[in-house]
Amino acid sequence: MTKTIFTVTAALAAGCALAQLSDDEALKAAKETLAKMTLEEKTQLLAGSGTMTLAAIPRVGINAEWTMSDNSSTVRPAMNRWDWGYPQPRSENTKLPSLSALAQTWDVEWARKHGETLGAEMRDRGVDELLGPGVNIMRTPLNGRNWEYLGEDPVLAAKLCVPMIKGVQSYDVAATVKHFCLNNQEWNRNHVDTHVDARTFNEIYLPAFKAAVQEGEALCVMTSYNKVDGIWASENKYNQRGILRDRWGFKGLIETDWGGQHSCDFAINNGGGIEMHWGQGIKYLYNPKEGKFPLAEAVRAGKVPEANVDEAALHTLYVMAKTGFLTGAPRKAGERNTPKHQQIARGEGADSIVLLRNAKGLLPLKTEGVKKVLVIGKGANDKQCGKGCSGEGNVPYEITLFAAVKKRFAEAEVKLMPFCAKMEIATTDTSNAAIAGGHVEQKTKVDYCDPAELKAAAEAADLVIVFTGTELGYQENMESESRDRVEFCLPPALQAAMHTILDWKLPNLVVVSRSGTPVGYTWTDKADTLVQTSYLGMEEGNSIVDVLVGDVNPSGKLAQSWPKAYADTAVAQCGTYNGQNVSYNERFYVGYRWFEHKKIEPLFPFGFGLSYTTFAYGDPSVVKTGDTWEISVPVTNTGKVPGREVVQIYAAYPGAKVERCEKELKGFAKTQLLGPGATETLKIKVTERDLAYWDDFTNRFTTDAGDYEFLVGASSVDIRGKMAVKVAGTTLYRD
Ligand code: BGC
């Protein structure tokens, strides 16, 4: 069966939203309600009535508060009306893998299931709007929120966010694509001013947002905290009106990030939407705590045309109508924490894991006869689901790697020991994490183990699992919002401990590294067996063990180039990373585009990942219909165990008239589980428009007539086939 057939079948099985009106019907319903509203009531549609709500206005038929909830991998518990706290008891929800993990699956089906799971859990909780997905591109490995995003490539991020959004919204709720735009670091995120040239903006940083809005039909967009060319993103006319509304035809609502509103009339006159903040901080447009209406006053004072208020209020009502919230139409029923959702968390997680090294064939592990297992690294038993600020959740249970190993090796003695690394770690108190500044540093001593004692335990074990990487939170090198990691590398004492342990040359040692972003490692050439995972949510331990023992053959591939050193990265070499004015001078050379342009070898390239089996690629072929090529790639499992393979199509521009990257991802597909000897022909479509660059002179995407190449890759560097194609005439695209 081909991929095409599989996708169509799956889409049919997915079912549709019940309440959704057509765009015209929704607009009509929204207009009818707007016509009944007073200026004050319209103002109420443009600001929170609390931290996560918009006001109910029963007089016009809005009988309940519109409720929002973070994030991209779970439905975070409801929050207090006037602060960031949670009321008791907190609701429990499934926590799925983070988006950085979803990106590593390279699988649109997982993206759809991920979205549907969130949509179903929202409905079960009575949540109307999800504050996700986040689609900001990874520009620097230091960004504290890379784990919340979909990697470094605009095409990968775009193709995965679309089915996820559709999955969420198939439950008659709204998804919010965030953070629009150029929020590619957390360092001073609330004040930093970003500057990017038009070509880079259009080719790298906008495509995922555009796909989210146009193909995914995301109903909401959240603006970012930062400034863009001196103007706050929340009041940036060029981006909000010019790009979102005029160019992309976005009909849904725009809202600020929490606390990202800076003005009343300036924002609303420049296409700004809903002001959100922790309840008490809402004040520019409407002050729910004090019952004041500054926006209505600004209209009366002649500072804001009422038409601008109407326009913005209509967008809110339109979203309410599309989801059935406004019209009272029956909405799809949801469910929460079901075995099905738990299986999705576990399966998506396992399919996202990337096998980086298996030099001695130690994996998959043999479970029989294993009497002693040593897990090194206390992180292997630290729960993560409740951490990560707005990315956090409250889960019914969480399986750590240590717990899963204990369960899987039930007959063995399984021991957990800390690293032989004497360390103190700085903790940052971020009681109000969304607001930069005011952090308090403290020092915590990390558990330490004597190297001789650790070595004796490791040598006595039949299996040693070393667990390294980052954690979520606010200690040094942890990943979380409102702060970037300070160092690319893990603390020197930890690196030294890794060298010490690997120098023992234990034949039965696996390194599992977990992070949502590349981390500087100095020891990888000593690690024969190395597995990379991102944050996998509440089934994390099970997902990892499923892969280690071979119940699931790893099929994840890196969504981020893994640099050897921070000094190799574009932002380091171009000096374009700071906390004040950030000029994206590396331009479109982001991720693998940079490494290829500068001929710098990364530690592990974008798109790379091994399997327990091997795949042979047959000769690719290409057929063109209209302006679309269909590339067929036969993939055969030539090994001994079933497995899945991701095939990537890159475009190269041998005859380009303008500066272009060496190659760029244009499409990808993943096989089903192929048994030994089985072949599947993947079909991947690329259009002439996909080959376009942004032309600064015409302000248009342009595909020049000429020669192009499609490269069939098992990764960005492992190219298995090439096809030359031609474009007959030059075309300029409006967007
Ligand atoms: C984050 C957003 C989040 C919002 C609401 C902000 O601090 O940047 O991603 O959706 O808080 O919790």
Q: Per the domain annotation, does 335 fall within a domain?
A: no
Q: Is 481 in the pocket of ligand 1 (CB under 6 A)?
A: yes
Atom 4 (ligand 1) nearest CA: 258
Q: What is the DSSP string of 120-134?
A: HHHHHHT--EEE--B
For residue range 615-655, list pLDDT tens digits in order.
999 999 999 999 999 999 999 999 999 999 999 999 999 98
**Domain identity same for 100 and 112:** yes
Q: Are 680 and 634 in contact (CB under 8 A)?
A: yes
Residue 40 CB burial class (10 angstroms; 0-12, 13-18, ≥19): middle
pLDDT at 435: 38
Q: Which domain holds residue 589?
A: 561-612
Is 340 domain-assigned?
no
Domain count, the chain: 4
Question: Is the Cβ atom of 552 under 6 angstroms away from ligand 1?
Answer: no
pLDDT tens per residue, range 275-328: 999 999 999 999 999 999 999 999 999 999 999 999 999 999 999 999 999 999
What's the length of the chain?
735
Annotated catalytic residue, options 124, 257, 528, 568: 257
Which of 52, 53, 70 gets mutated to test ligand 1 (max ligand atoms within 8 A of its CB)?
70
- What is the CATH number for 403? 3.40.50.1700
Say yes or no: CB of residue 70 within 6 Å of ligand 1: yes
Q: Report which protein residue has its CA nearest ligand 1's atom 12.
A: 390
For ligand 1, whether the C-beta of 540 sits within 6 Å is no
Looking at residue 440, what is its pLDDT? 52
What's the pLDDT at 445?
72
Residue 686 maps to a domain: yes
Q: What is the mean pLDDT of the chain?
A: 94
Angle at 211 between CA 207 and CA 216, to 5 degrees: 160
Report the distance separating Cα 527 and Cα 548, nearest Å: 15
Interval 141-168 mean pLDDT: 98
Q: How far is CA 623 from the centre of its chain?
A: 33
Q: Name the residue at shortest CA distance from atom 3 of ligand 1.
A: 390
Rounded to two decimals, what is the model's pTM? 0.96
Apex 118 CA angle, 114 and 119, nearest 5: 115
With contact defined as beta carbons under 8 Å apart, do 46 and 356 qualify? no
Question: Do the domain assignments include residue 328?
Answer: no
Residues 99 and 123 both lie in one domain: yes
Q: Is there a domain that residue 265 lies in?
A: yes
Q: What is the pLDDT of residues 111-147, one digit of tens each?
A: 999 999 999 999 999 999 999 999 999 999 999 999 9
Residues 313 and 458 in one domain: no
- Ligand 1 contact via 434 beta carbon (within 6 Å): yes
Task: Check whether residue 159 and residue 119 sit in a common domain.
Answer: yes
- pLDDT band at 441, cuts 50/70/90? low
Q: Is the pLDDT of residue 6 over 70?
A: no
The residue among 547, 581, 612 that closes a domain is: 612
What pLDDT is stored for residue 434 in this prediction? Answer: 41
In a domain, 330, yes or no: no
Residue 172 has pLDDT above 50, yes or no: yes
Helix (H, G, I), strand (E, B) or coil at 665: strand
CATH number where 689 lies: 2.60.40.10
Centre of ligand 1 from the C-alpha of residue 258, in Å = 6
Whether 258 lines ligand 1, by a CB cut-off of 6 Å, is yes
Which of 481, 482, 483 to mutate to test ligand 1, by most ligand atoms within 8 A of the CB atom? 481
Both 373 and 491 in a single domain?
A: yes
91-109: pLDDT as tens digits: 999 999 999 999 999 999 9
122 and 235 housed in the same domain:
yes
Could you write out the three-class secondary structure of 416-442?
A: EECCCCCCEEEEEECCCCCCCCCCEEE
Provide the CATH number for the domain around residue 41.
3.20.20.300
Q: What is the pLDDT of residue 18?
A: 86
Q: Which atom of ligand 1 is nearest to the CA of 131?
A: 10
Residue 577 has pLDDT above 50, yes or no: yes
Please tell me if the CB atom of residue 92 comes closer than 6 angstroms to any atom of ligand 1: no
Q: Which protein residue has the closest C-alpha to ligand 1 atom 7?
A: 434
> Is there a single domain that holds both residue 484 and residue 384?
yes
* pLDDT band for position 16 (cuts 50, 70, 90): confident
Residue 436 confidence (pLDDT): 36
**Residue that is last in its domain, among 540, 557, 574:** 557
Q: What is the pLDDT of residue 475?
A: 77
pLDDT score at 3? 34
Q: Are 209 and 180 in contact (CB under 8 A)?
A: yes
pLDDT score of 13: 42
- Does the Cβ of 124 fall within 6 Å of ligand 1? no
Q: Does position 173 have pLDDT exceeding 70, yes or no? A: yes
Query: Is 72's C-beta closer than 6 angstroms to any atom of ligand 1?
Result: no
Q: How confident is the model at residue 88 (pLDDT cuts 50, 70, 90)?
A: confident
Residue 8 reports pLDDT greater than 90 = no
pLDDT at 700 over 80: yes
Q: Is residue 342 one of the residues assigned to a domain?
A: no
Residue 707 catalytic? no
Confidence grade of residue 7 (pLDDT, cut at 50, 70, 90)? very low
Residue 696, pLDDT above cutoff 70:
yes
Ligand 1, atom nearest to 481 Cα: 8
Q: Are residues 234 and 137 in the same domain?
A: yes
- Do both 79 and 167 map to the same domain? yes
Mean of pLDDT values over 353-380: 97
Segment among 140-144, 243-247, 443-447, 490-494 with least mean pLDDT: 443-447
651 plus 577 within the same structural domain: no
d(CA 416, CA 83) in angstroms, rounded, equals 39
- Could you list the beta-strand ranges (E) of 10-149: 48-50, 53-54, 66-70, 129-131
Q: Are residues 596 and 496 part of one domain?
A: no
- Ligand 1 centroid to residue 222 C-alpha, Å: 9
Residues 429 and 460 reside in one and the same domain: yes
In a domain, 61, yes or no: yes
pLDDT beyond 80 at 576:
yes
Give me the helices (H) in 36-90, please: 39-44
